[in-house]
Chain A
Amino acid sequence: MADPNFRKLPPPAQAPEDEPFWAAAAEGTLLIRRCRSCGDAHHYPRAICPYCFSSDTAWQASKGEGEIYSVSVMRRGANAPYALAYVTLDEGPSMLTNITACDFDALSIGQRVAVRFVPTEGGPPVPMFTPIGD
Protein backbone atom coordinates (compact mmCIF):
# COMPACT_ATOMS: atom_id res chain seq x y z
CA MET A 1 0.00 0.00 0.00
CA ALA A 2 1.34 3.40 -0.95
CA ASP A 3 1.53 5.82 1.92
CA PRO A 4 -0.58 8.87 1.01
CA ASN A 5 1.68 11.03 3.10
CA PHE A 6 4.91 9.81 1.55
CA ARG A 7 5.16 12.59 -1.01
CA LYS A 8 5.89 15.96 0.45
CA LEU A 9 3.37 18.27 -1.19
CA PRO A 10 3.97 22.01 -1.45
CA PRO A 11 1.05 24.16 -0.34
CA PRO A 12 -1.24 25.05 -3.24
CA ALA A 13 -1.05 28.65 -4.43
CA GLN A 14 -4.26 30.45 -3.56
CA ALA A 15 -6.15 33.11 -5.45
CA PRO A 16 -8.98 35.21 -3.98
CA GLU A 17 -11.33 33.57 -6.49
CA ASP A 18 -10.68 30.17 -4.84
CA GLU A 19 -10.70 30.95 -1.11
CA PRO A 20 -13.98 29.12 -0.32
CA PHE A 21 -12.63 26.01 -2.07
CA TRP A 22 -9.62 25.78 0.24
CA ALA A 23 -11.63 26.66 3.34
CA ALA A 24 -13.98 23.76 2.53
CA ALA A 25 -11.02 21.48 1.76
CA ALA A 26 -9.71 22.12 5.26
CA GLU A 27 -13.08 20.82 6.51
CA GLY A 28 -12.92 17.75 4.27
CA THR A 29 -15.45 18.92 1.67
CA LEU A 30 -14.80 19.02 -2.07
CA LEU A 31 -16.44 22.03 -3.70
CA ILE A 32 -17.21 22.34 -7.39
CA ARG A 33 -18.61 25.32 -9.22
CA ARG A 34 -22.00 25.21 -10.94
CA CYS A 35 -23.48 27.80 -13.29
CA ARG A 36 -26.99 28.92 -12.42
CA SER A 37 -27.47 30.16 -15.96
CA CYS A 38 -26.64 27.07 -18.07
CA GLY A 39 -26.84 24.57 -15.19
CA ASP A 40 -23.51 22.84 -15.89
CA ALA A 41 -20.81 22.22 -13.28
CA HIS A 42 -17.12 22.70 -13.94
CA HIS A 43 -13.73 22.21 -12.26
CA TYR A 44 -11.24 23.83 -11.61
CA PRO A 45 -13.58 26.59 -10.36
CA ARG A 46 -14.00 29.90 -12.16
CA ALA A 47 -16.03 32.99 -11.27
CA ILE A 48 -17.27 33.07 -14.86
CA CYS A 49 -18.75 29.93 -16.44
CA PRO A 50 -16.44 28.50 -19.12
CA TYR A 51 -19.47 27.20 -21.02
CA CYS A 52 -21.75 30.25 -21.23
CA PHE A 53 -19.67 33.16 -19.84
CA SER A 54 -22.29 33.84 -17.16
CA SER A 55 -21.01 35.33 -13.91
CA ASP A 56 -23.94 33.70 -12.06
CA THR A 57 -21.92 30.77 -10.75
CA ALA A 58 -22.04 29.25 -7.27
CA TRP A 59 -20.19 26.77 -5.09
CA GLN A 60 -21.69 23.31 -4.65
CA ALA A 61 -20.54 20.53 -2.35
CA SER A 62 -19.58 17.43 -4.30
CA LYS A 63 -20.31 14.00 -2.85
CA GLY A 64 -16.65 13.38 -3.54
CA GLU A 65 -17.18 10.20 -5.52
CA GLY A 66 -16.63 9.31 -9.12
CA GLU A 67 -14.72 7.03 -11.47
CA ILE A 68 -11.26 6.99 -12.98
CA TYR A 69 -11.38 8.46 -16.52
CA SER A 70 -7.69 7.77 -17.12
CA VAL A 71 -4.64 7.07 -15.01
CA SER A 72 -0.87 6.89 -15.54
CA VAL A 73 1.49 5.67 -12.84
CA MET A 74 4.77 7.58 -12.89
CA ARG A 75 7.48 4.94 -12.42
CA ARG A 76 10.63 7.07 -12.62
CA GLY A 77 11.97 10.29 -11.19
CA ALA A 78 11.40 12.20 -7.99
CA ASN A 79 8.61 10.91 -5.76
CA ALA A 80 7.81 7.93 -8.01
CA PRO A 81 5.68 5.95 -7.97
CA TYR A 82 2.53 8.02 -7.92
CA ALA A 83 -0.64 7.90 -9.99
CA LEU A 84 -1.76 10.93 -12.03
CA ALA A 85 -5.41 10.63 -13.03
CA TYR A 86 -8.53 12.32 -14.21
CA VAL A 87 -11.54 11.42 -12.07
CA THR A 88 -15.03 12.07 -13.47
CA LEU A 89 -17.14 13.19 -10.52
CA ASP A 90 -20.71 11.92 -10.22
CA GLU A 91 -21.80 15.56 -10.53
CA GLY A 92 -20.32 15.72 -14.05
CA PRO A 93 -16.94 17.38 -14.37
CA SER A 94 -13.65 15.53 -14.65
CA MET A 95 -10.79 16.76 -12.48
CA LEU A 96 -7.03 16.27 -12.57
CA THR A 97 -5.86 14.58 -9.38
CA ASN A 98 -3.88 11.68 -7.97
CA ILE A 99 -5.05 8.23 -6.93
CA THR A 100 -3.42 7.40 -3.61
CA ALA A 101 -3.39 4.88 -0.75
CA CYS A 102 -3.81 1.92 -3.10
CA ASP A 103 -2.05 -0.78 -5.10
CA PHE A 104 -0.92 1.17 -8.15
CA ASP A 105 -0.70 -2.00 -10.25
CA ALA A 106 -4.39 -2.71 -9.64
CA LEU A 107 -5.72 0.63 -10.89
CA SER A 108 -7.97 0.67 -13.94
CA ILE A 109 -10.07 3.04 -15.96
CA GLY A 110 -13.70 3.02 -14.78
CA GLN A 111 -12.78 2.13 -11.19
CA ARG A 112 -14.88 3.81 -8.49
CA VAL A 113 -13.01 6.23 -6.24
CA ALA A 114 -13.72 8.60 -3.35
CA VAL A 115 -12.01 11.83 -2.37
CA ARG A 116 -9.28 11.67 0.25
CA PHE A 117 -7.79 14.98 1.32
CA VAL A 118 -4.01 14.77 1.68
CA PRO A 119 -2.03 17.24 3.81
CA THR A 120 0.38 19.73 2.27
CA GLU A 121 3.33 21.45 3.90
CA GLY A 122 1.84 24.46 5.60
CA GLY A 123 -1.21 24.82 3.35
CA PRO A 124 -4.69 23.40 3.06
CA PRO A 125 -5.07 19.73 2.14
CA VAL A 126 -5.52 18.79 -1.53
CA PRO A 127 -8.22 16.50 -2.99
CA MET A 128 -6.78 13.17 -4.09
CA PHE A 129 -8.84 10.01 -4.52
CA THR A 130 -8.67 6.41 -3.40
CA PRO A 131 -10.45 3.31 -4.75
CA ILE A 132 -13.67 2.23 -3.02
CA GLY A 133 -15.48 -1.12 -2.99
CA ASP A 134 -16.85 -2.80 -6.12
Chain B
Amino acid sequence: MTIRNMAYIVGAFEHPTRHAPDKSTPQLHAECAVGALADAGLCAADVDGYFCAGDAPGFGGMSMIDYLGLNVRHVDSTETGGSSYILHVSHAAQAIAAGKCSVALITLAGRPRSEPFGRTAGGAPETPFESWCGTTTHNSYGMCAARHFHEYGTGPEQLAWIKVAASTHAQHNPYAMLRDLVTVEDVLASPMISDPLRRLDCCVVSDGGGALLVVAPDIAKSLDRPLISVRGAGEAVKGPMGGRNLDLTISAAARSGPAAFEEAGVSPSDIKYASIYDSFTITVLIQLEDLGFCAKGEGGRFVADGNLISGVGRLPFNTDGGGLCNNHPTYRGGITKVIEAVRQLRGEAHPAVQVPNCDLAVASGIGGSLGTRHGAATLILERQ
Protein backbone atom coordinates (compact mmCIF):
# COMPACT_ATOMS: atom_id res chain seq x y z
CA MET B 1 0.00 0.00 0.00
CA THR B 2 1.20 3.50 -0.75
CA ILE B 3 -0.07 6.90 0.35
CA ARG B 4 0.50 8.35 -3.11
CA ASN B 5 -2.71 10.08 -4.24
CA MET B 6 -4.57 8.52 -1.32
CA ALA B 7 -5.08 11.73 0.70
CA TYR B 8 -5.48 15.47 0.05
CA ILE B 9 -5.16 18.59 2.22
CA VAL B 10 -8.45 20.47 1.87
CA GLY B 11 -8.39 22.86 4.83
CA ALA B 12 -5.66 25.06 6.25
CA PHE B 13 -5.90 27.87 8.79
CA GLU B 14 -3.32 30.06 10.51
CA HIS B 15 -4.59 31.77 13.66
CA PRO B 16 -4.25 35.57 13.35
CA THR B 17 -3.31 36.15 17.00
CA ARG B 18 0.26 36.80 18.08
CA HIS B 19 -0.59 37.51 21.73
CA ALA B 20 -3.56 35.84 23.42
CA PRO B 21 -3.66 36.61 27.14
CA ASP B 22 -7.46 36.47 27.06
CA LYS B 23 -7.80 32.95 25.69
CA SER B 24 -6.94 29.45 26.86
CA THR B 25 -4.71 27.09 24.90
CA PRO B 26 -7.53 24.61 24.25
CA GLN B 27 -9.62 27.54 23.02
CA LEU B 28 -6.89 28.42 20.49
CA HIS B 29 -6.81 24.79 19.31
CA ALA B 30 -10.59 24.95 18.88
CA GLU B 31 -10.47 28.26 16.99
CA CYS B 32 -7.87 26.80 14.65
CA ALA B 33 -10.08 23.75 14.11
CA VAL B 34 -13.06 25.99 13.33
CA GLY B 35 -10.93 27.94 10.86
CA ALA B 36 -9.65 24.89 9.02
CA LEU B 37 -13.10 23.34 8.84
CA ALA B 38 -14.55 26.59 7.47
CA ASP B 39 -11.77 26.76 4.90
CA ALA B 40 -12.60 23.25 3.77
CA GLY B 41 -16.37 23.65 3.91
CA LEU B 42 -16.63 20.78 6.40
CA CYS B 43 -18.10 20.61 9.91
CA ALA B 44 -16.89 19.08 13.17
CA ALA B 45 -19.23 16.12 12.77
CA ASP B 46 -17.31 15.16 9.61
CA VAL B 47 -14.05 14.74 11.55
CA ASP B 48 -13.27 11.09 12.30
CA GLY B 49 -9.53 11.31 12.95
CA TYR B 50 -7.67 13.63 15.35
CA PHE B 51 -3.94 14.35 15.47
CA CYS B 52 -2.09 16.43 18.06
CA ALA B 53 1.35 16.60 19.68
CA GLY B 54 2.85 17.77 22.95
CA ASP B 55 1.42 21.29 22.74
CA ALA B 56 -2.08 19.88 23.17
CA PRO B 57 -2.92 20.17 26.85
CA GLY B 58 -3.90 17.11 28.81
CA PHE B 59 -3.48 13.39 28.41
CA GLY B 60 -2.65 12.54 24.81
CA GLY B 61 -5.55 13.43 22.57
CA MET B 62 -8.18 12.50 25.14
CA SER B 63 -8.53 15.91 26.78
CA MET B 64 -8.73 17.73 23.45
CA ILE B 65 -11.17 15.26 21.87
CA ASP B 66 -13.42 15.70 24.92
CA TYR B 67 -12.97 19.50 24.85
CA LEU B 68 -13.81 19.68 21.16
CA GLY B 69 -16.66 17.16 21.37
CA LEU B 70 -15.24 15.07 18.54
CA ASN B 71 -16.35 11.54 17.70
CA VAL B 72 -13.32 9.95 16.10
CA ARG B 73 -12.30 6.46 15.09
CA HIS B 74 -8.61 7.25 14.75
CA VAL B 75 -6.35 9.17 17.16
CA ASP B 76 -2.62 9.89 16.96
CA SER B 77 -0.57 11.99 19.39
CA THR B 78 2.87 11.17 18.05
CA GLU B 79 5.30 13.73 19.45
CA THR B 80 8.35 14.76 17.40
CA GLY B 81 8.55 18.36 18.56
CA GLY B 82 7.98 21.10 16.02
CA SER B 83 8.04 18.61 13.15
CA SER B 84 5.09 16.68 14.58
CA TYR B 85 2.46 18.26 12.34
CA ILE B 86 4.34 17.44 9.15
CA LEU B 87 4.66 13.87 10.36
CA HIS B 88 0.95 13.95 11.23
CA VAL B 89 0.07 14.71 7.60
CA SER B 90 1.96 11.57 6.65
CA HIS B 91 0.33 9.50 9.40
CA ALA B 92 -3.07 10.90 8.43
CA ALA B 93 -2.50 9.89 4.82
CA GLN B 94 -1.53 6.38 5.98
CA ALA B 95 -4.65 6.15 8.14
CA ILE B 96 -6.88 7.39 5.31
CA ALA B 97 -5.24 4.98 2.85
CA ALA B 98 -5.91 2.15 5.30
CA GLY B 99 -9.55 3.19 5.68
CA LYS B 100 -9.08 4.09 9.35
CA CYS B 101 -10.45 7.62 8.95
CA SER B 102 -11.58 9.88 6.16
CA VAL B 103 -11.38 13.40 7.63
CA ALA B 104 -8.27 13.95 9.75
CA LEU B 105 -7.97 17.12 11.87
CA ILE B 106 -4.49 18.24 12.94
CA THR B 107 -4.22 21.12 15.43
CA LEU B 108 -1.42 23.08 17.06
CA ALA B 109 -1.71 26.02 19.44
CA GLY B 110 0.04 27.59 22.42
CA ARG B 111 0.59 30.80 24.33
CA PRO B 112 4.25 31.09 25.35
CA ARG B 113 4.03 34.90 25.56
CA SER B 114 0.93 34.83 27.77
CA GLU B 115 1.69 31.70 29.74
CA PRO B 116 5.42 31.28 30.40
CA PHE B 117 6.84 27.86 31.18
CA GLY B 118 6.20 26.69 34.69
CA ARG B 119 2.89 28.44 35.24
CA THR B 120 -0.12 26.61 33.87
CA ALA B 121 1.41 25.46 30.58
CA GLY B 122 0.23 22.01 29.66
CA GLY B 123 -2.81 22.13 31.90
CA ALA B 124 -5.74 20.16 30.51
CA PRO B 125 -8.94 22.16 29.97
CA GLU B 126 -10.82 20.04 32.51
CA THR B 127 -8.17 20.53 35.22
CA PRO B 128 -9.66 23.68 36.83
CA PHE B 129 -13.01 21.91 37.21
CA GLU B 130 -11.82 18.46 38.24
CA SER B 131 -8.44 18.70 39.96
CA TRP B 132 -10.06 19.38 43.34
CA CYS B 133 -12.51 16.48 43.05
CA GLY B 134 -10.01 13.89 44.27
CA THR B 135 -10.46 11.69 41.21
CA THR B 136 -8.41 8.50 41.30
CA THR B 137 -8.74 5.45 39.10
CA HIS B 138 -10.51 3.69 41.98
CA ASN B 139 -13.38 6.14 42.47
CA SER B 140 -13.64 6.94 38.75
CA TYR B 141 -14.19 3.26 37.91
CA GLY B 142 -16.21 2.94 41.12
CA MET B 143 -18.77 5.43 39.79
CA CYS B 144 -19.09 3.35 36.61
CA ALA B 145 -19.69 0.21 38.66
CA ALA B 146 -22.20 1.97 40.93
CA ARG B 147 -24.19 3.20 37.93
CA HIS B 148 -24.08 -0.26 36.29
CA PHE B 149 -25.38 -1.78 39.53
CA HIS B 150 -28.14 0.86 39.63
CA GLU B 151 -29.30 0.48 36.03
CA TYR B 152 -28.95 -3.27 35.54
CA GLY B 153 -29.03 -4.88 38.96
CA THR B 154 -25.44 -6.06 38.62
CA GLY B 155 -24.03 -7.21 41.95
CA PRO B 156 -20.64 -7.40 43.67
CA GLU B 157 -20.70 -11.20 43.63
CA GLN B 158 -20.91 -11.09 39.84
CA LEU B 159 -17.90 -8.75 39.61
CA ALA B 160 -16.10 -11.12 42.00
CA TRP B 161 -16.37 -13.94 39.47
CA ILE B 162 -14.02 -12.01 37.18
CA LYS B 163 -11.35 -12.05 39.88
CA VAL B 164 -12.03 -15.73 40.61
CA ALA B 165 -11.44 -16.57 36.94
CA ALA B 166 -8.21 -14.55 36.84
CA SER B 167 -6.91 -16.22 39.99
CA THR B 168 -7.81 -19.65 38.63
CA HIS B 169 -5.51 -18.93 35.70
CA ALA B 170 -2.76 -17.23 37.74
CA GLN B 171 -2.19 -20.41 39.75
CA HIS B 172 -0.34 -21.75 36.73
CA ASN B 173 1.81 -18.66 36.06
CA PRO B 174 5.05 -18.79 38.08
CA TYR B 175 5.63 -15.08 37.44
CA ALA B 176 2.20 -13.97 38.66
CA MET B 177 2.23 -11.63 41.68
CA LEU B 178 -0.90 -13.25 43.14
CA ARG B 179 -0.99 -17.02 42.62
CA ASP B 180 -3.50 -18.03 45.28
CA LEU B 181 -6.93 -19.16 44.13
CA VAL B 182 -9.61 -16.87 45.55
CA THR B 183 -13.35 -17.39 45.93
CA VAL B 184 -16.29 -15.04 45.51
CA GLU B 185 -16.45 -14.90 49.31
CA ASP B 186 -12.79 -13.87 49.50
CA VAL B 187 -13.46 -10.96 47.15
CA LEU B 188 -16.53 -9.83 49.07
CA ALA B 189 -14.58 -10.02 52.35
CA SER B 190 -11.72 -7.84 51.10
CA PRO B 191 -11.66 -4.19 52.24
CA MET B 192 -13.78 -1.62 50.44
CA ILE B 193 -11.54 0.73 48.45
CA SER B 194 -14.06 2.95 46.68
CA ASP B 195 -17.70 1.87 46.59
CA PRO B 196 -18.56 -0.63 45.27
CA LEU B 197 -15.03 -1.77 44.35
CA ARG B 198 -13.11 -3.82 46.91
CA ARG B 199 -9.40 -4.52 47.09
CA LEU B 200 -9.72 -7.75 45.12
CA ASP B 201 -11.65 -5.93 42.39
CA CYS B 202 -8.44 -3.95 41.72
CA CYS B 203 -5.43 -4.93 39.63
CA VAL B 204 -1.94 -5.26 41.07
CA VAL B 205 0.76 -2.57 40.95
CA SER B 206 3.94 -3.92 39.38
CA ASP B 207 7.23 -2.96 37.80
CA GLY B 208 8.02 -4.58 34.50
CA GLY B 209 7.31 -4.11 30.84
CA GLY B 210 6.81 -5.76 27.47
CA ALA B 211 7.49 -5.33 23.77
CA LEU B 212 5.99 -6.37 20.47
CA LEU B 213 7.28 -6.62 16.92
CA VAL B 214 4.92 -6.12 14.00
CA VAL B 215 6.40 -6.82 10.56
CA ALA B 216 5.56 -7.04 6.86
CA PRO B 217 4.11 -10.33 5.57
CA ASP B 218 7.24 -11.35 3.64
CA ILE B 219 9.39 -10.94 6.74
CA ALA B 220 6.87 -12.84 8.89
CA LYS B 221 6.93 -15.73 6.46
CA SER B 222 10.73 -15.81 6.45
CA LEU B 223 10.83 -16.40 10.21
CA ASP B 224 10.41 -19.68 12.06
CA ARG B 225 7.47 -18.50 14.18
CA PRO B 226 3.71 -19.11 13.93
CA LEU B 227 1.97 -16.54 11.74
CA ILE B 228 -0.18 -14.34 13.92
CA SER B 229 -1.95 -11.73 11.81
CA VAL B 230 -3.76 -8.56 12.74
CA ARG B 231 -7.14 -9.27 11.17
CA GLY B 232 -9.01 -6.23 12.42
CA ALA B 233 -8.59 -3.21 14.65
CA GLY B 234 -10.70 -0.43 16.09
CA GLU B 235 -10.15 2.56 18.33
CA ALA B 236 -12.21 5.27 19.98
CA VAL B 237 -12.04 7.98 22.62
CA LYS B 238 -14.90 8.85 24.98
CA GLY B 239 -15.39 11.53 27.61
CA PRO B 240 -18.25 13.28 29.36
CA MET B 241 -18.28 15.65 26.33
CA GLY B 242 -19.89 18.51 28.20
CA GLY B 243 -22.09 16.28 30.34
CA ARG B 244 -25.03 15.88 27.96
CA ASN B 245 -26.63 12.41 28.20
CA LEU B 246 -23.81 11.10 30.37
CA ASP B 247 -23.69 7.30 30.37
CA LEU B 248 -20.97 5.70 32.50
CA THR B 249 -22.16 2.16 31.71
CA ILE B 250 -20.90 2.36 28.10
CA SER B 251 -17.20 2.60 27.24
CA ALA B 252 -15.39 3.65 24.07
CA ALA B 253 -15.07 -0.11 23.37
CA ALA B 254 -18.66 0.09 22.14
CA ARG B 255 -17.16 1.78 19.07
CA SER B 256 -13.67 0.22 18.92
CA GLY B 257 -15.04 -3.33 19.26
CA PRO B 258 -17.63 -3.32 16.48
CA ALA B 259 -15.12 -1.55 14.18
CA ALA B 260 -12.54 -4.28 14.81
CA PHE B 261 -15.03 -7.11 14.29
CA GLU B 262 -16.35 -5.50 11.11
CA GLU B 263 -12.87 -5.13 9.64
CA ALA B 264 -12.03 -8.71 10.60
CA GLY B 265 -15.28 -10.03 9.17
CA VAL B 266 -15.93 -12.13 12.25
CA SER B 267 -18.29 -11.91 15.20
CA PRO B 268 -17.81 -12.31 18.96
CA SER B 269 -19.18 -15.85 18.78
CA ASP B 270 -16.18 -16.81 16.60
CA ILE B 271 -13.66 -15.77 19.27
CA LYS B 272 -11.80 -18.60 21.05
CA TYR B 273 -9.87 -16.48 23.57
CA ALA B 274 -10.21 -12.94 24.92
CA SER B 275 -7.58 -10.68 26.50
CA ILE B 276 -9.60 -7.97 28.21
CA TYR B 277 -7.84 -5.14 30.05
CA ASP B 278 -8.67 -5.68 33.71
CA SER B 279 -7.59 -2.59 35.61
CA PHE B 280 -10.66 -3.40 37.71
CA THR B 281 -13.26 -6.14 37.49
CA ILE B 282 -15.82 -3.60 36.23
CA THR B 283 -13.48 -2.73 33.33
CA VAL B 284 -13.84 -6.30 32.08
CA LEU B 285 -17.60 -6.49 32.55
CA ILE B 286 -18.33 -3.27 30.66
CA GLN B 287 -15.94 -4.18 27.82
CA LEU B 288 -17.47 -7.64 27.38
CA GLU B 289 -20.86 -5.99 26.87
CA ASP B 290 -19.47 -3.31 24.57
CA LEU B 291 -17.52 -5.82 22.47
CA GLY B 292 -20.76 -7.72 21.91
CA PHE B 293 -20.13 -10.90 23.92
CA CYS B 294 -23.45 -10.21 25.65
CA ALA B 295 -26.12 -7.52 25.63
CA LYS B 296 -25.68 -4.27 27.61
CA GLY B 297 -26.69 -5.00 31.18
CA GLU B 298 -26.15 -8.77 30.87
CA GLY B 299 -22.45 -8.66 31.80
CA GLY B 300 -23.02 -9.68 35.40
CA ARG B 301 -24.82 -12.85 34.39
CA PHE B 302 -22.29 -13.50 31.60
CA VAL B 303 -19.22 -13.52 33.85
CA ALA B 304 -20.78 -15.51 36.70
CA ASP B 305 -20.26 -19.17 37.48
CA GLY B 306 -16.83 -19.46 35.89
CA ASN B 307 -17.81 -18.50 32.35
CA LEU B 308 -14.41 -16.79 31.86
CA ILE B 309 -12.35 -19.76 33.13
CA SER B 310 -10.35 -21.68 30.53
CA GLY B 311 -11.66 -25.23 30.15
CA VAL B 312 -14.81 -24.39 32.10
CA GLY B 313 -16.61 -21.42 30.58
CA ARG B 314 -17.66 -20.19 27.19
CA LEU B 315 -15.08 -17.39 26.93
CA PRO B 316 -11.59 -18.07 28.37
CA PHE B 317 -10.04 -14.71 29.31
CA ASN B 318 -6.69 -13.41 30.59
CA THR B 319 -5.13 -16.84 30.98
CA ASP B 320 -1.89 -15.32 32.35
CA GLY B 321 -3.84 -14.09 35.37
CA GLY B 322 -4.22 -10.64 33.83
CA GLY B 323 -3.74 -7.37 35.64
CA LEU B 324 -5.89 -8.66 38.48
CA CYS B 325 -3.34 -11.32 39.47
CA ASN B 326 -0.28 -11.38 37.21
CA ASN B 327 1.14 -8.05 36.16
CA HIS B 328 0.23 -4.42 35.45
CA PRO B 329 3.55 -2.83 34.47
CA THR B 330 3.77 0.91 35.12
CA TYR B 331 -0.03 1.11 35.49
CA ARG B 332 -0.46 0.24 31.80
CA GLY B 333 -1.83 -3.18 30.98
CA GLY B 334 -2.40 -2.98 27.23
CA ILE B 335 0.75 -4.70 26.05
CA THR B 336 0.39 -7.73 28.32
CA LYS B 337 -3.08 -8.26 26.81
CA VAL B 338 -1.57 -8.60 23.34
CA ILE B 339 1.30 -10.79 24.62
CA GLU B 340 -1.00 -13.39 26.23
CA ALA B 341 -3.24 -13.42 23.14
CA VAL B 342 -0.15 -14.18 21.01
CA ARG B 343 0.81 -17.01 23.41
CA GLN B 344 -2.67 -18.49 23.09
CA LEU B 345 -2.68 -18.24 19.29
CA ARG B 346 0.78 -19.86 19.12
CA GLY B 347 -0.29 -22.63 21.49
CA GLU B 348 2.36 -21.46 23.93
CA ALA B 349 0.15 -20.67 26.93
CA HIS B 350 0.48 -22.85 30.04
CA PRO B 351 -1.02 -26.27 29.21
CA ALA B 352 -3.47 -25.93 32.10
CA VAL B 353 -5.01 -22.84 30.50
CA GLN B 354 -4.24 -23.29 26.79
CA VAL B 355 -7.40 -23.04 24.70
CA PRO B 356 -7.57 -25.96 22.22
CA ASN B 357 -7.32 -24.98 18.56
CA CYS B 358 -7.07 -21.33 19.44
CA ASP B 359 -6.98 -19.62 16.07
CA LEU B 360 -8.92 -16.41 16.69
CA ALA B 361 -8.52 -14.06 19.64
CA VAL B 362 -9.48 -10.56 20.71
CA ALA B 363 -7.30 -8.18 22.73
CA SER B 364 -9.09 -5.13 24.02
CA GLY B 365 -8.20 -2.38 26.43
CA ILE B 366 -9.41 0.77 28.13
CA GLY B 367 -6.82 3.43 28.96
CA GLY B 368 -7.17 6.65 30.88
CA SER B 369 -10.09 6.90 33.26
CA LEU B 370 -13.32 5.08 32.49
CA GLY B 371 -15.39 7.56 34.49
CA THR B 372 -13.95 10.61 32.76
CA ARG B 373 -11.84 10.56 29.58
CA HIS B 374 -10.63 7.25 28.20
CA GLY B 375 -9.47 5.58 25.03
CA ALA B 376 -10.36 2.08 23.85
CA ALA B 377 -8.46 -0.10 21.41
CA THR B 378 -9.50 -3.51 20.10
CA LEU B 379 -7.50 -6.01 18.03
CA ILE B 380 -8.72 -9.17 16.34
CA LEU B 381 -5.72 -11.51 16.02
CA GLU B 382 -5.61 -14.70 13.95
CA ARG B 383 -3.25 -17.64 13.64
CA GLN B 384 -2.84 -18.50 9.97
Is B188 close to A, CB under 8 A?
no
* Residues of chain B with a CB closer than 8 A to A110's CB: 150
Q: In this complex, which of A72, A85, A86 has the most chain B Cβ atoms within 10 angstroms of its Cβ?
A: A72
B interface footprint on A1-37 (CB within 8 Å = 1, 0 otherwise) = 0000001011011111110001000000000000000
How many angstroms from the CA of A79 to the CA of B246 in the assembled complex? 27
Decide if the interface of chain B is mainly helix, strand, loop or mixed.
Answer: helix
Q: Is the CB of A47 within 8 A of B135?
A: no
A93, B123: Cβ atoms closer than 8 Å: no
Task: Identify whether the interface residues of A are mostly helix, strand, loop, or mixed.
Answer: loop
Flag B132-165 by CB within 8 Å of A: 1 or 0 each.
Answer: 1111101110111111001000000000000000
Q: Is the CB of B23 within 8 A of A51?
A: no
In chain A, what residue has the closest Cβ to B127?
A: A13
Contact between B125 and A74 (Cβ–Cβ < 8 Å)? Answer: no
- Min CB distance B383 to A, Å, is 41
Give min CB distance, A7 to chain B, whole Å. Answer: 7
Contact between chains at A84 and B133 (CB < 8 Å): yes
Separation of A17 and B34 alpha carbons in the complex (Å): 17
Residues of B within 8 A of A130 (CB): none
* Listed residue (B125, B132, B372) with the most chain A CB atoms within 10 angstroms of its CB: B132
Q: What's the minimum C-beta distance from B200 to chain A, rounded to whole angstroms?
A: 13
* Alpha-carbon distance between A98 and B130 when the two chains are bound, in angstroms: 10
Chain B nearest CB from A16 CB (Å) reads: 5
Partner of B27 from the list A10, A46, A49 (CB cut-off 8 Å) is A46
* Chain A positions 73-131 with a Cβ under 8 Å from a chain B Cβ: 73-77, 79, 82, 84-86, 88, 92-98, 109-110, 120, 126
**B residues 20-59 in Cβ contact with A at 8 Å:** 21-27, 30-31, 33-34, 37, 43-44
A52 cross-chain contacts in B, Cβ below 8 A: 44
Contacts of B192 in A (CB 8 A): 75-76
On whether the beta carbons of B194 and A73 are closer than 8 Å, the reply is yes
Which residues in window 222-280 of B have CB below 8 A to A?
A: 240-244, 246, 248
| CA–CA, A9 and B114, complex, Å | 26
Q: Are A10 and B24 in contact (CB under 8 A)?
A: no
User: Which chain A positions have C-beta within 8 A of B242?
Assistant: 40, 42-44, 46, 50-51, 93
B147 touches A12 (CB 8 A): no
The answer for the CA separation of A73 and B192 in the assembled complex, in Å, is 9
Tell me the nearest residue of chain B to A16, going by C-beta: B22
Structural contact, A74 and B136, CB atoms closer than 8 A: yes
- Judge if A69 is at the interface, Cβ distance under 8 Å: yes
Contact present for A13 and B123 (CB under 8 Å): yes
- Whether B244 and A69, one on each chain, are in contact in the complex, defined by CB atoms closer than 8 angstroms, is no
CA distance in complex: A27, B30 (Å)? 30
Q: Give the residue of A17, A50, A75 whose beta carbon is less than 8 angstroms from that of B194.
A: A75
Nearest CB to that of A88 among chain B residues?
Answer: B246
Jot down 18 A-B pairs with beta carbons below 8 A, ordered by A. Answer: A10-B131, A13-B123, A15-B123, A15-B128, A17-B24, A18-B128, A40-B244, A42-B244, A43-B242, A51-B241, A70-B146, A72-B194, A74-B136, A75-B194, A76-B193, A84-B194, A88-B243, A95-B243
Name A's B-contacting residues (CB within 8 A).
Answer: 7, 9-10, 12-18, 22, 40-44, 46-53, 55, 69-77, 79, 82, 84-86, 88, 92-98, 109-110, 120, 126
